[in-house]
A and B are shown apart, each in its own frame.
Chain A
């Protein structure tokens, strides 16, 4: 940009509005004040604006007055820019980071109880081994497996064991952290 008064032209036909939809999954990391009602404010904002949260994880941070909320959202459905701007308006939300997939490590944990009688048991145990999952509980008919990994990894484990009969599954939702630079 030149100084005021210079005539470098901004042609109207060259102006473009920013694209609203990114088309990919986004992980938003929110730093929030640990005050009563903060989660209700965020959940309420999402429901009244028609934003759909895919996963949500909440927990304490290194600072006892600050909580961290990790949200995943589909950027093909929601204008992420609008979502973050609305979140910023909440007074208790201190910081929002739209995590860069290139530099982010994301993990989720899931517990799955799978039907595993005499016939299927071996295969379920094999899958668990391949996915580096732990068997944390056993009964005559079922195995309970703990798995940690990316959302996609847990999805594929689920697909593997589902044919055996998935009795119950709980997932934490992803948490994410930025990769530190190797020289730091």
Chain B
């Protein structure tokens, strides 16, 4: 068969149902093969949208997300989602068309060295040089994208090679990759030492991240935390791995986390990090981060261990393997829960003194935090929430109490504005039975708003709850707090008219400016059949608190 047909067959063999993409010259053979294939192709309107949709699909389902783009500009438009998938360890495979192999290196029309351009931001990439490689490369790409620490894999396919005739036989077993052996099982000796250290800790904190969700180990994580009264906090990527609210839950960690979580890290004597990477948004000033603590670090990627914070007890392995063993070893020690009493008293005092709070309006004005609370009420906490990047993202992380994994989909590492809407489309395609709401900001939404057409044409009934404050709110907040209120280029004004834009795309659009109308409008949006955009006008100059100013220590939290 044609190599293009073999590529589609290989994708089907990998269990793919949906691909997101846009055709172009160099990918014409691939799209011709789609014509006869069982693969369902979702036509995005910008390759960035296709890429983020593939990420949303992967994050919601745990399966590999797939996006197609043509050569040159199509491929370069994928760079942002590829980098995003790398930073947040999202299992994704990107297939790009490339110019004919005899044109490579000649600056041919729509030629870009996409394997070169993406090299720093892929887990791996494969440039096809022989048509017979194509199906094998697809299998390799899936294997690499989905095992160990997941990530994006790019397969770049020259237009002539994908037209060649090749034999296709389904792959038997995982590909032989001599240089790729992801460590899965944790060293039991290290796990025992960690259990003993924990049993001797008087001020422990469990700090979990997105690695728990990637490993599908949320239940194992809960069991571990509840094997004793261990205080738990999560990064923005980890939300949902442990149910919020909960007696042992300290709230989110980091720059906009709770004081209880950040102060607990500051005073902890032992921190058990599972599937997180001590990002600067977590540590703040590194030299003053958790100065009293020893660190157990569990991660499937050995390079994360001791990268930023030296680990005292490193455990390399998959969280789903390590956590049950750690729980068992810890339980076997029959640790004294009583030793944690003073520690909990201290934590409870922070929780009492510094709960998350905001001053609600006395009139009809909609506070952004109120909007998130209304969303939580309207959905019963039972929706997939995707978000863009900025204040709304942090408010969602603070006030929407995620209690299940894969319900909170956001761009944590790269911080990509424009992620929210296309990732919501991907999530809805992956999980049609769940409500999918994109909580966005007016600065972010416009960056990929063309994907409203994708939702309309493919009848993907996502809801966008737009937190419209007419500003790049987080930048405005930083200019207010750290740049003497010299507001530069942060006012987005009153354009576009979002309800008209929504209607132009074939969506329903509804503007809400009164607090009293908001819960009803949200319910109506959720109950309606098609895609809906709620343009919610919120307080323009609300700041997101609490906050650790960049480069400061947890103790310096403000607000």
Contact = CB atoms under 8 A, between A and B. Distances in A.
B312 A82 contact: no
Given A11-B200, A91-B177, A92-B179, A1 B310 contact: no
Interface residues of A, number: 35
A106 B302 CA distance: 29
A17 B295 CA distance: 8
A12 B270 contact: yes
Interface string A4-18: 110111111001111
A36 interface: yes
B200 A10 contact: yes
Nearest to A15: B312
Interface in A1-42: 1, 4-5, 7-12, 15-18, 20, 32-33, 36-37, 40-41
Contact of A40 (B116, B177, B197): B116
Interface in A108-157: none
B84 interface: no
Interface string B281-302: 0000000000000110000011
A18 B129 contact: no
A41 B124 CA distance: 10
B119 A91 contact: no
A94 B176 CA distance: 12
B179 A12 contact: no
A91 B178 CA distance: 8
A91 B193 contact: no
A158 interface: no
Nearest to A48: B120
B200 A20 contact: no
Contacts of B404: none
B127 interface: yes
Contacts of B332: 4-5
B151 to A, nearest CB: 9
Interface string A77-95: 0010110011011111111
Contacts of B306: 17-18, 20, 79, 81-82
B357 interface: no
B333 A82 contact: no
Q: What is the interface of chain A mostly: helix, strand, loop, or mixed?
A: loop
Contacts of A48: 120
A44 interface: yes
Contact of A1 (B123, B144, B192, B313): B192
A90 B200 contact: no
A51 to B, nearest CB: 12
A92 B179 CA distance: 6
Contact of A33 (B178, B201, B295): B178
B200 A94 contact: no
Given A10-B193, A17-B311, A91-B144, A40 B119 contact: yes
B197 A10 contact: yes
A36 B119 CA distance: 12
Contacts of B201: 12
A32 B492 CA distance: 51
B115 interface: yes
Interface string B89-127: 000000000000000000000000001100110011101
Contacts of A88: 302-303
Nearest to B180: A91
A4 B333 contact: yes
Contact of A5 (B115, B307, B333): B333
Nearest to B196: A10
B120 A44 contact: yes
A4 B120 contact: no
Nearest to B193: A10
B328 interface: yes
B365 interface: no
B318 to A, nearest CB: 16
B312 A16 contact: yes
B329 A4 contact: yes
Contacts of A8: 196
Interface string B135-146: 000000000100
B345 interface: no
Nearest to B269: A12
B189 interface: yes
Contacts of A5: 332-334
A82 B303 contact: yes
25 contacts: A1-B189, A1-B193, A4-B192, A4-B328, A4-B333, A7-B333, A10-B193, A10-B197, A10-B200, A12-B201, A12-B269, A15-B294, A15-B313, A17-B312, A18-B306, A18-B310, A33-B179, A37-B116, A37-B127, A40-B116, A89-B123, A90-B179, A91-B144, A94-B178, A94-B179
Interface of A: 1, 4-5, 7-12, 15-18, 20, 32-33, 36-37, 40-41, 44, 48, 79, 81-82, 85-86, 88-95
Which 8 A-B pairs rank lowest in CB-CB distance, beginning with the nearest?
Answer: A17-B310, A10-B196, A85-B303, A4-B332, A15-B312, A94-B179, A5-B332, A91-B124
Interface of B: 115-116, 119-120, 123-125, 127, 129, 144, 177-180, 189, 192-193, 195-197, 200-201, 269-270, 294-295, 301-303, 305-307, 310-313, 328-329, 332-334
Given A4-B192, A4-B328, A11-B200, 15 more contacts: A1-B193, A5-B332, A5-B333, A7-B333, A9-B200, A12-B201, A12-B270, A18-B310, A48-B120, A85-B302, A85-B305, A88-B302, A91-B123, A94-B178, A95-B179
